[in-house]
Structure 1
Amino acid sequence: MRQPYWTNNHSTLYLGDAREVLAELPAGSVDCLVTSPPYYGLRDYGVEGQYGQEPTPAAYVETLRATFREAWRVLADDGTLWLNLGDSYAANSDGWARGADYNPHQPAIRPRSRLAVPPKNLLGMPWRVAFALQEDDWILRNAIVWHKPNAMPQSVLDRVSTRYEMIFMLVKQRRYWFDLDAVRVPNAGDPPPAPREADETASAPDGKYRDDQDAFRGKHYGTSMRPTGQRHTAAHARGKNPGDVWSISTRPLRAAHFAAFPIDIPLRAIAAGCRPGGTVCDPFAGAATTALAAQQLGRPFIGIEISEPFCDLARARIVADTASRQGRRRSEGD
């Protein structure tokens, strides 16, 4: 087993290829995977072996498929995978692929002749990956639309602008850890829910395991639930199910990693899909946004990143966040 690039009492960072590092982690050692791999053909990070610069969509899908086969082994049987992927287009009329964040000094190079579809085609990359993972026995439980209210404008005149990305929730078996109460949205007029102690969830009846038939077996956390009738239509006392459209604004990061997703996404994924004290892993750690969310929610974190500069950025952000939290605790103690 390789040595960590950096570690503290909460987080461990590994420098290397996601698939290779995952292959060295113990089986069942992770309770929740939250990650956003490099999107196909949109950015060149200048790192040998980087993901996203495969010559064809099929090659990109196979790269991720092989990586998540290792993730399957590492993930606990009752764990969850939250996978954020954006789409991309086939080459433009000049023969080169350019994403929404196109940088003329660092184009994503993808020759038109290597693609099987005419230029300007939306490739459907998120769904290609999701279907490939289904073929590997992952269970696709949700296709969540991440709506971006503040999405960057796009200089296109022959189509509408893109305002969303996909977040797929996948699991290994029908019964898995899922705490809906942790991510409920307050009903109109209700005050925000008070934070719960971590052990309250851990001691709940039958844990927080659900499968797709539990609601119709009268196992709705100790209450009866039927597909019709007043109980079915009444508002839940703890708030609404957040649904599969998440309106979450992007949060630009002034550091080098300009594609970091907002911390609100891993906060919600970890709260719902990781048992208290369970280990969170991000195989494409980038700027360590998932690490900061895991730290905020009291879960240990393992991150993998192929770029050494990004590992340094991740370490700096974790250290700064840790110092900030310690300072607040000292201040509150006074």
Structure 2
Amino acid sequence: MKPYYSDDSVTLHHGDALDVLRAMASGSVNCVVTSPPYYGLRDYGEPGQYGLEETPAAYVERMRDVFSEVRRVLADDGTLWLNIGDSYASTGGTSGVGPDAVVAQTRRQDTGRTRLASTLPPKNLLGIPWRVAFALQDDGWILRNRIVWHKTNAMPESVTDRLSSRSEELFLFAKAQRYWFDLDAIREPAVTADRPATLKTRGGSEWSAKAVKPGSTQQRTPGADGLGHHALGRNPGDVWLIPTAPFSGAHFAVMSPGLARRCIAAGGRPGGIVLDPFAGSCTTGMVANQLGRRFVGIDLSAKYLDLALRTRLAQGVLMFGDAA
């Protein structure tokens, strides 16, 4: 399989995610961080694109096929971080926005979304993220966390008969019960005193901070500062307050660099390979390189890959600095 582009830190493939994944070696990546096209939300102007399936069930089955191959190419101790948004049932009709749309044109995005007909009455929230999550779970993935991405700068909505949407789902899946996970890399500053300091394993013996490697299942009661706090900070929990970060290029549905950073820091082995099968503008790749990981990206659009090479991947860390 000849890549679209390759150097020491980045490999990009142009094509359908499922086709490219089938040609990749088993166990060849350490971590997967991705956000596939959401169901019925955008028309990217590419034949065979994901997200325009006839029904929600068809979309879920297509996601199942892709992530079955993702599971094969993922190392046994690897993790999958899947960000996926929801959509509403409508009466149908399409007025899609093509791949040359600009992020900043919010109103155009809102009015130009693709509306797919549904068997459900209009206005129904389809529950797409959980439909996909359950399908992957049925295929053998271990669902470890549902994380709420609270978009602190979410755009306002004009709806008056429901609450505005300010969050999306992020799922953490593992391939096996024991996997690489570095909680210390994403700890937050502690804000309250919980209880007296104790450091213990399940067996009750004293625990040394240098003895437990990322991915260990040892249980520890934080308290290294004497106030009930872990010396490196607290577990960030499963609600992440992270702003969106529009990209002024041609790809308007970009992953937040801050979101990608947490996923890669916690789930990607240092020096390992991070995969995004729906790479788009390569936010995941940019952050992976900044954190010292190699990146493999796949996208159906050559325009997006070219854009990423001209911008986000052009000079790596030196060009983009901190992606948080």
Asked if these proteins are the same fold (TM beyond 0.5), I'd say yes
**1:166 — aligned with what?**
169
Alpha-carbon displacement from aligned partner over 1:103-152 (angstroms, at most 9, x marks no partner): 488441412xxx23111000000000000000001000000000011101
Change (3 A) 1:230 1:29: closer
Distance 1:254 1:327 in 2: 17
Unaligned 5+ runs, structure 2: 97-105, 193-208
Q: What SS does structure 2 have at the residue aligned with 1:185? A: coil
**Which of 94, 113, 116 is matched with 1:110 structurally?**
116
Alignment RMSD, CA only? 2.8
Change (3 A) 1:326 1:152: closer
**1:295 — aligned with what?**
289
Change (3 A) 1:175 1:158: same
Matched, 1:176 2:185: no
Shift of 1:205: 3.7
Q: What SS does structure 1 have at the residue aligned with 2:271? A: coil
CA contact (8 A) 1:90 1:97 kept: no
Identical columns (%): 54
Change (3 A) 1:285 1:164: same
Q: What amino acid is aligned across from residue 284 of structure 1 in structure 2?
A: F
Distance 1:292 1:326 in 2: 8
**1:195 — aligned with what?**
none
**Which of 118, 132, 137 is matched with 2:135 structurally?**
132
Alpha-carbon displacement from aligned partner over 1:68-100 (angstroms, at most 9, x marks no partner): 0000000000000000001000005xx347899
Change (3 A) 1:40 1:116: same
Distance 1:183 1:105 in 2: 37
CA contact (8 A) 1:277 1:298 kept: yes
Q: What SS does structure 2 have at the residue aligned with 1:243? A: coil
Change (3 A) 1:159 1:327: closer
Q: What SS does structure 1 have at the residue aligned with 2:62? A: helix
Distance 1:318 1:55 in 2: 34
Q: What SS does structure 1 have at the residue aligned with 2:11? A: strand
Q: What SS does structure 1 have at the residue aligned with 2:314? A: helix
**2:76 — aligned with what?**
77
CA contact (8 A) 2:181 2:215 kept: yes
Distance 2:44 2:62 in 1: 17
CA contact (8 A) 1:91 1:98 kept: no
Q: What SS does structure 2 have at the residue aligned with 1:146? A: strand
**1:32 — aligned with what?**
31
**Which of 274, 284, 288 is matched with 1:280 structurally?**
274
Change (3 A) 1:104 1:174: closer
Distance 1:238 1:11 in 2: 31
Matched, 1:86 2:60: no
Unaligned 5+ runs, structure 1: 190-202, 329-334
CA contact (8 A) 1:41 1:97 kept: no
Determine which structure has the larger helix proportion and give its number: 1
Change (3 A) 1:206 1:27: farther
**Which of 300, 314, 319 is matched with 1:320 structurally?**
314
Shift of 1:313: 1.0
Q: What amino acid is aligned across from residue 293 of structure 1 in structure 2?
A: V
CA contact (8 A) 2:86 2:125 kept: yes
Shift of 1:327: 11
TM-score, scaled relative to structure 1: 0.82
Distance 2:53 2:320 in 1: 43
Shift of 1:9: 1.7
Q: What amino acid is aligned across from residue 173 of structure 2 in structure 1?
A: L
Q: What SS does structure 1 have at the residue aligned with 2:240? A: strand
CA contact (8 A) 1:91 1:97 kept: no
Farther-moved stretch of structure 1 (95-104 vs 8-17): 95-104
CA contact (8 A) 1:266 1:290 kept: yes
Distance 1:82 1:290 in 2: 11
Change (3 A) 1:271 1:149: same
Distance 1:252 1:14 in 2: 24
Change (3 A) 1:101 1:208: farther
Change (3 A) 1:184 1:79: same
CA contact (8 A) 1:81 1:170 kept: yes
Q: What SS does structure 1 have at the residue aligned with 2:315? A: helix
Q: Give the count of matched residue pairs.
A: 297
